[in-house]
Each structure stands twice: as C-alpha cells, then as structure tokens.
Amino acid sequence: MKFKIFAAFIGPSVIMMILFIAFPLFSVFKQSFYLTQPIYELMDVETCTPGFITQSCVTETQSIPKLDEHGEIITQTKFVGLQSYRNVLELERAWDALSSGNWAGFGAIDFWKALRFTLTFTLITLPLVLGAGLGIALMINNAAKSVRGPVIFVSLLPFIITPVIGALSINWLFRGDGILTAAIEWYLQRDIAMFAQAWTIEVLMMLYRVWHVAPFAAIVFYAGLQTVNQDSLESAIIDGASRWQRLKYIIIPHLMPLIVFISMIHLMDSYRVFEEIVGFSSQGHVISLQWLTYDFLVPDQAGNRSISRASASAMLTMIGIALLLVPLLRRTWRDHHGGH
Amino acid sequence: MSARALQQPLSLRLTSGVFLAMWCVIAAFPILWIMVQSFKVPVDAYDSNALNVILGPETLARGHGMSLFQILIGAAMLWLTFHLARKTLPSLVHQVFDSGVQWIGWVIGVLALTIGAIVALFGVVPWLAGLLDPYLGPFGTNVIGVTTEHYKTVWVERGFFRNFQNSLIVTAGVVAISLSVGTLAGYGLARSGSKLAFWILIIALIFRALPHSVLVAGYLPVFISSSEWLAPILGENAPTLYGKPFAVIAVLVAINQPFTIWMLRSFFQNIPAELDEAARVDGCSHFQAFRRVIMPVMWPGVITTGLFSFLLAYNDFLVTSLLLDAQNQTMVPAIAGMFNRETTTTDQVVAVAAAVSITAPLFFLVMAFQRQIVSGLTAGAVKG
C-alpha cells in the first residue's frame, strides 16, 4: 500500500487523536506550570451600620478583584513553576507527618490518600478478578451445553451495566438498613454501619469492581478453554495426572497469554478508578487519583475551577500510568520484533 | 475412551453446578433488586424483610396492585413481544425491505416494537385488568403490590425525557462518527505492514491507558474560552464549545478511537487480503476495493465495535458531567445529581427508578447482541 493511500485511510482517525488527545495532553502539561488568577487590589472600604444615635462606620482595607469596563473580573496568567505541584503534593506536610511517624496525618493529605487507595484497589482486585474469572470460566465449561448460553447472558449483565449505576445498585443494597446490611445484622446480631468508616467502603468498592470485571475475564478465559489441546489432556490422564495437576501444568500455561492480557487491561482500568467514588458517594472517606483531578475541575462555590492544580494532579497521575505501561510496551515491542 | 476418561465424578459436577448457580444469583441480584424496588412505595422498597419488598404489602394497601389475572396477561404480552422480536420481525424485515436499506427496516421495526410493548404493558394490560378483575373472584384480587408512580415522576415531572434525548444524540453521534473514522483507519492499519502503522498502534495503546480526567483537564479551559480564540476564524458568532453536545461527541470519539482502531484492525486482519488483491487485479483502486469488496463482508466486526462504542458513550459519566451544562445533560450525570439530592425516601426510590430506566436498554442490548459482544471480548484477547 502506497504511503499516500495509507495516509488517506488513517488520516481522519490520526487527526482526531492529535486534536483531542495529543494536544490536550500538551496543554495540560503547560497549564500545570501556569496559574490564572483574578487581579486583586487593596481598597479602603467603609462599612457603615446604623446605630442608635449616629451611624457607626468602620474602615477596612480589603482585597477586591479588579473589574474591567464590562464589569467582568480581570484575570492574569503567570508562570509559577512547580508551585501547583507543591500545592497538590504538600510535601512539607507529608514529610512532617512521616518523620514524626504520624501515618494518620500522612493519610489525611488528599494526594497521598488518593494514591494509597488507588494502589491498594488496583493490587487487591487484580488477583481476585483473575481468580473469579478463571473459576467462572471453568464452571461454565463444565456445565451442560444447553445452559451455557443463558449463563453467559446473565454473566454479561454486571459487565455492561453503567459503572455508576452498578456501583449505586450495590450501594443501595448496603446503604442504611439496606437488605444486605439487614441480613448481616441479623446474622451477627449486632448493629453495623457500612458507610461510617473507610475500610468497609473500600471493601464494598472492591467487591463491586470484581463483580463488574470478572465476567469479562471469565468470557475471555472461556474462549481460551475451547482451544486447549485435548490430546495433551488425554495423555496427561494416561500418565495419571490428577485434575489439579492437569489444571496447573496444562490449562493455566495454555491460558497464560490471556492472563497477561487481562492483567494489563485491568491494571489500566482500575488505576483509573473513579465511578466507584461517585456511586458510593465516598468522597468524605475515600478518594482516588482520578477523582482528585475531577474534584479540582468541578467549580467550587465561587464558580472557580482550579485548572492549574487539576493539571498538576493529572500529570502526577500520568507518571503512574507510564510506570504501568513500561512492561506492556516492552512485551509488545518484543512480540513485534520476534514476529517479523 | 476419551469421553469416559474425561468424565467427571458426580460430586465434582454437582459442586461446579451449585457454584455456577450461585454466581448467576450474585451477577443478577443487584440489578433485579433495584428493578423490584423501583415498583414499590418507599416503605416497601426499603423494608428490611426481603419478602415484604417483593410482595409490597404497603403498596398493595394503597391500592396499587396486580391480580393474578393481570400477571398472567402481562406475562403473555412479554412472551408475545419476545416471539415477535425473534421470529416475526426478522422475516418481515427481509420480505419488505431490499438488502441495501434493510437497516432502515430494522430501526423502524425495533422502534415500533418497543413503543408497542410499552403501550401494551403499561396501558392495555392495566386497563384490561381493571375491566375484568371484578368478575374473576380470587383471580381478580390484587396479590402483589406494584406501582409505576416513580417512573411517572422521573420521566414526566423531573424531565428525564430531555436527558434521554441528549443521551440519544450523544451516543448516536459517537457511534456513527467513530465507526466511519475507525473503519477506514482499521482497514489501512490492517493492510499496511509499515513501521509507521506499528508506531501508530503503539501510540494508540498508550492513549488508551490515559485517565479521562487528564484529557478533560486539557479541554475545559480551551472549550470555555473557545468563542474568543475561534472569533478570528468564525467571526462574530463563534460558538462556546463548553456545554455543546457536538463538542462532547468529538471528545468521546477521540477517546474511543484507540480502542476502535485496534479492534477493527484485528477484524480486518481476519478478512483474507487475497480478496482485495483480486479486486485490485480486476482494476479497482484501493478505495473501490474497500467499498465494493470489503464493505459487504465487514459488518459483523463493525457491529461488534459499534456496540462497544455505544457502551462507552452511553455509560460515560466523567466527560459528560464536566463538559455539558445542565440543559444538555445526559442520563448518567443527571442521575448522580438526583441521588445526591435524595433527602426523603421517595426521592431515593425515584432515583432507583431512574437507574432502572438507564439499565433497561442495556439489558435488551445484551439480549439482542450477546453473540457479538462475546466475539468482541474474545477478538481483542486473541490478538493481544
């Protein structure tokens, strides 16, 4: 295929990606070093309150944003270097807390709190998703042919449901005296509140994520199980291998590429954990890195969005993604060069 | 011998079956449960006794209920709908429409069937039951409390219909544009073995891993001030991109592009290259070969990729909630506003009803396209 024709085919797609992915990335990088603020000026303001005989007046010096001729606030953008990063990382506070051994104080700083949760979430759900997916796949493979279709249909439901709605539906089961909280209370014979402390919310979020992603893993593994070499299974039986040995030495090695694939997808996706925070309304207790950026972007009560801090936290999030991607890229690189 | 050697002992088969059944319950329970809750008055919906939630005695006491007769004709209507969708609709479409415009037939047919089913279930069945119940004795007395008042609140009073329209515009736009752009790119990438193609795919893979909030942080300032920097090009009436559905469509298409081109590329690789080579030998240009030879056989892959584009656009919360203003809000961010406001239990059940309304189309989507979704999930895996 000539280059010109190739360019014509991929042109629209590449232009879209440059315009809406590469360019914003660059502008986020730039924004993180600049700060846009209204220009304040100091003004003497006289406030008078009616008194009994005379008015009592107080003169104060206040800083008031400057207005232009249309009555709009004038803003200026200036280079602030790493200031936004410092504001997000709060290194001094973090260092103070760490050096005095105050883990709670360290965990109270938004960025480190978010980082801690994002990493725990990613690392704990990964083995659970792989295990649950493999288990479900083996069970579907074991079932009679006639029930496989309906079972896959039911399994797909948690996967395609809108993440916010899925998280909400689990949230509603436990919120207040939701049906499952009531059941646990009845079983334990004591009062529990699932949303009063951070760790129970985290457990629920992880359960939700496993529920949401395990079907995907299961279906991919199920497809992989269809291609297991039956001859080697038979010879293993003749050699007297137990079921467990067959699983360990034949089936799992066969599924290895799929396990790597799912781990990679899951690492990327769970590092972006966000919808759970919204669905469980957990921002008071638990936040994630992506939620932190989102929160900076949402206008505060005065209607301001802290764009530069959002950009700084976005850039910091990206560093994590870069670290995650290195092994994946190396593998793709090897495959490509080995394959050709 | 193989069949006997591979046969499993009864105990293992039983355990596996039991666990599979348990998984099915876990998978479906939260979704079924919010569906049941949405049809009850708040007292029943949040009862701690599961049986009360299902049967709804309080709902029944307030005069909203279904008799056995109504349940029976309701079930009959449901069965009829499924029968029509699976058997009658396909054959009808094949008869009436030519193969070129068959998709129009499908759109019309599915729309008609959906509207017909809603009218039949929520209009005809209650009316018929109200008419005949008094004469049916025990079959005519209400046994299960069911009320649709929360759906009325959501769709009529809270103006959820507008959000639905916006969701429809955004998803339709995203699916249409991302497929037409992605198909071309996927084909180009599949048929080119060049280094550039490899690098584009790698960069797309990196883009796929980006958190969406990073990108939105890049769009927001640019979109809010767009009327200023677009003014030199477009003059006086340069639009503010913030809050406009078409801007969100463009953003979602771009975010979805890496996934789309990877997936379509793997589908195109499965179409033998000899096919378009033959067309080229017969004198077609690359584009003619694509249009006349590849397009007729690429539909399964395109439909599957389209489904995933649909899911991305329909399920998105982050991008739409930050880039659309209140009047153009889609369904998912709108419901987040709804449950944050929930102060009374009635508000909560209203939010539940809204959640079920969002989920229902996805349910039917899986029902209709289960095979395509499964093939899409596995296609990505096989090619890595």
Categorize the per-residue pLDDT at B365 as very low, low, confident or very high, splitting at 50, 70 and 90: confident
Closest CA to B85 of B75, B77, B74: B77
Distance, first Cα to last Cα, chain A? 18
A84 located within any domain: no
A187 located within any domain: yes
The model's pLDDT over B283-337, given as tens digits with 9 standing for 90+, comes to 777 778 778 778 777 787 888 888 888 888 888 888 888 888 777 788 888 887 7
Contacts of A257 in chain B (CB under 8 A): 384
Give mean pLDDT, residues A270-293.
83
Residue of chain A with shortest Cα separation from B218: A24
How much is the pLDDT for B1?
41
Residues B346 and B45: their CA atoms lie apart, in Å, by: 10
- pLDDT exceeds cutoff 90 at A182: no
Nearest CB to A13 within list B181, B202, B377: B181
The model's pLDDT over B154-177, given as tens digits with 9 standing for 90+, comes to 787 777 888 888 888 889 999 999
Give mean pLDDT, residues A186-191.
80
- pLDDT exceeds cutoff 90 at A128: yes
The model's pLDDT over B187-228, given as tens digits with 9 standing for 90+, comes to 888 887 778 888 888 888 888 888 888 888 888 877 777 767
Pick the residue of A1, A5, A18, A20 with the most B CBs within 10 A to test the interface with B by mutation.
Answer: A20
Residues B246 and B328: their CA atoms lie apart, in Å, by: 11
CATH code for the domain of A305: 1.10.3720.10
The better pLDDT of the pair B110, B313 is held by B313
Which residues, in sequence order, are CB contacts of B260 under 8 Å at separation 6+?
B178, B179, B181, B182, B185, B186, B305, B308, B309
Asked if A280 is an interface residue toward chain B (Cβ–Cβ < 8 A), one would say no
Nearest CB to B251 within list A14, A20, A142: A20
C-beta of residue A31 within 8 angstroms of C-beta of residue B221: yes
A97 located within any domain: no
The better pLDDT of the pair A271, B88 is held by A271
Other CB atoms within 10 Å distance of the CB of residue B17: 15
How much is the pLDDT for A130?
92
What phi-psi label fits residue A101: left (phi over 0), alpha (psi between -120 and 50 degrees) or beta? left
* Contact: B194, A274; criterion CB under 8 Å: no
Asked if B255 is an interface residue toward chain A (Cβ–Cβ < 8 A), one would say yes
Categorize the per-residue pLDDT at B44 as very low, low, confident or very high, splitting at 50, 70 and 90: confident
How much is the pLDDT for B383?
44
Asked if A6 is an interface residue toward chain B (Cβ–Cβ < 8 A), one would say yes
Asked if A182 is an interface residue toward chain B (Cβ–Cβ < 8 A), one would say yes
Other CB atoms within 10 Å distance of the CB of residue A273: 25
Asked if B191 is an interface residue toward chain A (Cβ–Cβ < 8 A), one would say yes
C-beta of residue A322 within 8 angstroms of C-beta of residue B221: no
Nearest CB to A305 within list B50, B220, B335: B220
* Contact: A25, B200; criterion CB under 8 Å: no
C-beta of residue B104 within 8 angstroms of C-beta of residue B48: no
Q: DSSP class of residue B296?
A: G
Cβ burial A156-180 (10 Å sphere, 16+ → b, else e): bbbbbbbbbbbbbbbbbbbbeebbb
Q: Would you kindly state where each structural domain of chain B is located, as residue ranges?
A: 25-153, 159-383
What phi-psi label fits residue A81: left (phi over 0), alpha (psi between -120 and 50 degrees) or beta? left
The model's pLDDT over B49-102, given as tens digits with 9 standing for 90+, comes to 777 777 777 777 776 777 777 778 888 888 888 778 777 777 777 777 776 667
How much is the pLDDT for A131?
92
The model's pLDDT over A49-97, given as tens digits with 9 standing for 90+, comes to 777 777 777 777 777 767 766 666 667 777 777 777 777 777 777 777 7
Asked if B261 is an interface residue toward chain A (Cβ–Cβ < 8 A), one would say yes
Q: What is the mean pLDDT of chain A?
A: 80
How much is the pLDDT for B46?
74
How many CB contacts within 8 angstroms connect chain A with chain B? 291
A284 located within any domain: yes
Contacts of B187 in chain A (CB under 8 A): 9
Which residues, in sequence order, are CB contacts of B171 under 8 Å at separation 6+?
B310, B313, B314
A102 located within any domain: no
Enter the ipTM: 0.83
What dotted CATH number matches B159-383?
A: 1.10.3720.10
Measured at the alpha carbon of residue B308, what is the angle toward residues B302 and B310, in degrees to the nearest 5?
95
Q: DSSP class of residue A69?
A: T
How much is the pLDDT for A89?
77
Q: Which amino acid is at B103?
A: W
Q: Which amino acid is at B318?
A: L
Q: By mean pLDDT, which of A109-118, B350-359, B372-381 is the weakest?
A: B372-381
The nearest CA of chain B is from the CA of A97 a distance in Å of: 29
- pLDDT exceeds cutoff 60 at B4: no
How much is the pLDDT for A340?
45
Q: By mean pLDDT, which of A106-115, A219-228, A251-260 is the weakest?
A: A106-115
Domain that holds residue A231: 110-339
Asked if B314 is an interface residue toward chain A (Cβ–Cβ < 8 A), one would say yes
A252 located within any domain: yes
What phi-psi label fits residue A178: left (phi over 0), alpha (psi between -120 and 50 degrees) or beta? beta
C-beta of residue B323 within 8 angstroms of C-beta of residue B222: no
How much is the pLDDT for B328?
77
How much is the pLDDT for A197?
79
* Contact: A293, B50; criterion CB under 8 Å: no
How much is the pLDDT for A6?
80
Residues B186 and A10: their CA atoms lie apart, in Å, by: 8
Q: Is A46 helix (H, G, I), strand (E, B) or coil?
A: strand
- pLDDT exceeds cutoff 50 at B384: no
Pick the residue of B214, B262, B265, B378 with the most A CBs within 10 A to test the interface with A by mutation.
Answer: B214
Q: How many domains does chain A have?
A: 1
Cβ burial A116-126 (10 Å sphere, 16+ → b, else e): bbbeebbebbb
Q: How far is CA B55 from CA A11, A183, B345, in A?
A: 59, 18, 19
How much is the pLDDT for B246?
83
Nearest CB to B254 within list A10, A16, A165: A16
A39 located within any domain: no
How much is the pLDDT for A338?
57
3-state helix, strand, coil in chain A (%, to 5): 70, 10, 20
Asked if B48 is an interface residue toward chain A (Cβ–Cβ < 8 A), one would say yes
Closest CA to A209 of A136, A308, A276, A116: A276
Burial status of residue A334 (CB atoms within 10 A of its CB: 0-12, 13-18, 19 or more):
exposed
Most distant CA atoms of chain A, gap in Å: 109
Other CB atoms within 10 Å distance of the CB of residue B241: 20
